[in-house]
Structure 1
Amino acid sequence: MIDDALLDILVCPDDRGPLLLVGEGRELYNPRLRRAYRVDDGIPVLLVDEARDVDDEEHARLTAQDRPADPR
């Protein structure tokens, strides 16, 4: 799991927008670009070349169970 303090400052490396913690903390998701970044052993891998694209069905699922990076 990623520490809440770290989530507060993480942004997408492509559009610099906030990310959602999804998949039981295994991924960070950018719903604007529909791009998911994996989290390895609690360490976000925020490399555009390592991200995966998300289709419409998965996008709907991820945004339904999202957790905003900044819950305030």
Structure 2
Amino acid sequence: MKPDDPLLKILVCPLDKGPLTLLPADEALYNPRLRRLYPVVDGIPQLLPSSGVRVSDDEHTRLLGRAGPEPGTEV
């Protein structure tokens, strides 16, 4: 999955229905509000609620640093 993929504009977290942040280096989509990481396998997002993994505080901080601004916010 690439950052300019139009699918990213309509993909949402299955739990809170909010936007997800693409983490290309990790091949994952991240929901910083719930701290859930969803894998992207062979270019296909795995967005079942059971596919998401809750991340630790340290991992959350690391992921936010890699992701840049949250979707829907301006810098």
- In the superposition, the TM-score normalised over structure 2's length comes to 0.82
The whole-number CA distance in structure 2 between the counterparts of 1:5 and 1:47 is 20
Aligned length: 72
When normalised by structure 1's length, the TM-score is: 0.85
- Tell me the distance in 1 between the aligned counterparts of 2:52 and 2:61: 18
User: Which protein, 1 or 2, shows the higher relative CO under an 8 Å CA cutoff with sep ≥ 6?
Assistant: 1
Structure 2: runs of 5+ lacking an equivalent: none
- The residue number in structure 2 matching 1:22 is 23
Off by >4 Å, runs of 4+ in structure 1: 67-72
Deviation at 1:4, TM superposition (A): 1.8
Q: 1:54 to 1:21 in 2, by over 3 A?
A: same
Partner of 1:21, secondary structure, is: strand
- What residue ranges of structure 1 are gaps of 5+ in the alignment? none
Tell me, yes or no, if the aligned pair for 1:35 and 1:52 is still in contact at 8 Å. Answer: yes
Q: Distance in 2 between matches of 1:71 and 1:9?
A: 16
* Contact 1:8-1:69 at 8 Å conserved across structures: no
Q: Over the residues paired in the alignment, what is the CA RMSD in angstroms?
A: 2.1
Identical pairs, percent: 51
